[in-house]
Amino acid sequence: MKSFWRIIRYARPYRVNAFLNIFFNLLGIVFSLVSIALIIPVLGIIFDNAKTELVQPVFEGSIIDYGKAYLEYEVALRMQDTGQSDALMYVCFIVIIAFFLKNLFGYLALYFITPMRNGITRDLRKELHTKILALPIGFFSEQRKGDIISRMTTDMKEVEWSILMALEMVFREPIMIISSLVVLLWMSPALTVFVFILLPVVSVVVTTIGKSLKRSSQKAQMQVGGIMSQTEESITGLKVIKAFNAEPLKRNLFQRSVDSYFDTMNRVMRKTALSSPISEFLGVSVMAVVIWYGGGLVLANEGFTPEAFIAYIVFFYQIIPPAKTLSKASYNVQRGNAASERILEILDAENPIISKPDAVSISSFDKELKFENVSFAYEEKNVVNNVSLTVEKGKMVALVGQSGSGKTTLTNLVPRFYDVTGGQLLIDGKDVRDVKLHDLRGLLGIVTQESLLFNESVFYNITLGKPEATLEEVQQAAKIANAHDFIMGLEKGYDTNIGDAGGKLSGGQKQRISIARAVLKNPPILILDEATSALDTESEKLVQEALFKLMQNRTSLVIAHRLSTIQHADEIVVMNEGHIAERGTHQELLEKNGIYSRLVEMQKFD
């Protein structure tokens, strides 16, 4: 339960709502008890057993005794003046008013608790999303995307429902039970103590089922995450699945997951369904014992009148619904606890890629970007080995090599998507880990091999790094990236929604929008990871010319597969198995007749 109560701490900003909820719940409970207490004079009138002494009651310290005496006085007064029928009508009218106020205050209690319930889940969702944005790239390479989405949706919904039940459990039901027990103790201490002896038995049964339910719920929520992951993978990789006739394979895998979830949810729902009948059966069993024991007191004429005993039974019955709700809430809280643990796994995840408390601010790039004996290992496997490289301001350095040689990993170290595991990465002589992360990334413009676009307008995607940009600035950036003409041909121009991951655009169009985004940001350092790989020949030539203009007097770190695009680089670094195999200009590397020369020969360009 520790995880769930950590989630409940998000209720602190809503203390006023909690106070008002408790206040109106108390009023509702008071009028609930009053409406039940009115049964006694009603039954007294019907049984012709009502008191007729006209003695004005005097308050002697007990509000319950005074209220009872005053009601008996009013009933007796009306019986003497107008007869039993009018006295009965008077009591029934008071009963109607009491029930109306009970329900009114019950509604007000729920009215004020609603913002608290929804506010907790809203704040939790915000914090969870903020944490997801803050976590390093490496965290998500170890997680399934669908499972994270499941925690944001399914688990959050489970917590939301459980919170409602928990708030009722904390603020309403215990008060109702305690108030009813106080009245029962006042009416008959002996009978109520007898009831107390039976209650622990009920508690043990409820707790046992609740623990079993939590285990099953945890398993079910993990399976939902797996199902969502498979769904996301199937949609993303639909072309590949169809091309390889892999539909039966993916279908069977998905069906096995769904069937397993089906079995688990059957167990969860059966255990949940078991809570209500067991609670009711135990409650009725206790009531039967109460009727047997209390009936004996009435028959023995030990100060317990028939109407008082019936009222006692009704008061006791008022304990059963909140007790059942507590029981059901307990099961729901167990399920919510399992969901809370999955959410807290993300909120508690360590984030090593953060700014140090004493990190320095930088607003410009003045000298050089320097790799000093840099190494990086992923899961104990070295991906980059002892790389030393200096990228001077205004220079273009190209990284080439076969796939898996460490090119992209090396560039990912610059914006601190990952931190070096050996050596140092310096910007103007400062270790990037000692610089404020926001400032560091503010100096960078990145165009990746995969065009990462969002399900928003063209304008939104281009202005991602500069939200305050004007339309004229956006258009100028798009023109440099050779994107303006095709954008103007879209249905709504720059306001056109480009679909999920830019699905309404071609690969070349998506890449040119990514380039326009980097152009608009106008950073001092450019990182281009296969930036022109998705362009056709004509577009590539135009964009390459624009990029060359953009890179003049600007520091550029370029990964290129098409070697024709980096012939004019100030330095070409050939990566092989995580280390630098060759370095030099295009002509110098051709003369070495090494790895670079062979790569050029394979691409056969002049």
Give 319-359 as a DSSP string: THHHHHHHHHHHHHHHHHHHHHHHHHHHHT-----S--TTP
146 pLDDT above the threshold of 60? yes
Collapsing DSSP to helix, strand or coil, 113 comes out as helix
Specify the range with the lowest mean pLDDT, choosing from 450-454, 569-573, 580-584. Answer: 450-454
pLDDT of 253 higher than 90: no
- DSSP label at residue 143: S
602 vs 64, residue with greater confidence: 602
Phi, psi (deg, nearest 5) at residue 396: -110, 120
Q: Considering only CA atoms, which of 307, 313, 277 is closest in space to residue 294?
A: 313
Please give the pLDDT value at position 425: 93
The tokens describing 31, both together, are 């009028």
Q: For the chain, give the number of residues.
A: 606
Q: Parallel, antiparallel, or unpaired: how do β-strands 571-576 and 555-559 relate?
A: unpaired
The strands making up 422-427's β-sheet, listed across from edge to edge, are: 381-392, 368-378, 422-427, 430-431
pLDDT band at 360 (very low <50, low <70, confident <90, very high): very high
- pLDDT class of 272 with cuts at 50, 70, 90: confident
Fill in the DSSP letter of residue 490: S
Average pLDDT over residues 463-487: 87
Q: What is the pLDDT at residue 424?
A: 93
Residue 600 vs residues 173, 548, 593: alpha-carbon distances, Å: 78, 21, 10
- 35-49, 124-138, 262-276, 417-431, range with the lowest pLDDT: 35-49
Q: Which CATH superfamily is domain 2-347 in?
A: ABC transporter type 1, transmembrane domain (1.20.1560.10)
Per-residue pLDDT, averaged over 218-233, amounts to: 74
CA neighbours closer than 13 Å in the CB half-sphere of residue 422: 15
Give the Cα separation of 287 and 275 in Å (integer). Answer: 18
The answer to whether residues 33 and 319 touch, using CB atoms and an 8 Å cutoff, is no
pLDDT band at 537 (very low <50, low <70, confident <90, very high): low
pLDDT bin (cut points 50, 70, 90) of residue 331 is low
* Predicted confidence band of residue 606 (pLDDT cuts 50, 70, 90): very low
Distance of alpha carbon 62 from the chain centroid? 50
Closest CA to 399 of 564, 587, 561: 561
- CATH fold for domain 368-603: Rossmann fold (3.40.50)
Rg (CA), the chain: 37
* Alpha-carbon gap, residue 50 to 47, rounded angstroms: 8
pLDDT at residue 431, as a whole number: 92
Tell me: the pLDDT tens digits for 492-516?
Answer: 999 999 887 788 887 778 888 888 8
Pairing of β 381-392 and β 571-576: unpaired
Rounded Cα gap, residues 485 and 512, in angstroms: 11
- Apex 514 CA angle, 443 and 404, nearest 5: 80
Whether 54 and 83 have beta carbons less than 8 Å apart is answered as no
Q: List Cβ neighbours of 451 (8 Å cut-off, separation of 6 or more).
A: 502, 507, 510, 511, 513, 514, 534
Query: CB count, 10 Å around CB of 65?
Result: 13
d(CA 280, CA 547): 75
The C-alpha atoms of residue 132 and residue 140 are separated, in whole angstroms, by: 9
DSSP H/E element including 584? strand 579-584
Q: What is the pLDDT of residues 366-402, one digit of tens each?
A: 889 999 999 998 777 888 999 999 999 888 899 988 8
What does the alpha-carbon distance between residue 345 and residue 348 come to, in Å, rounded to a whole number? 5
Percentage, residues of the chain above pLDDT 70: 78
| DSSP notation for 205-224 | HHHHHHHHHHHHHHHHHHHH
Query: For residue 302, what pLDDT band results from cuts at 50, 70 and 90?
Result: low
**546/479 Cα distance (integer angstroms):** 9
- 26-60 confidence digits (pLDDT tens): 888 888 877 777 666 666 555 555 454 566 766 66
Q: Where are the domains of the chain?
A: 2-347, 368-603
pLDDT tens per residue, range 424-455: 999 999 999 999 988 998 888 888 777 778 88
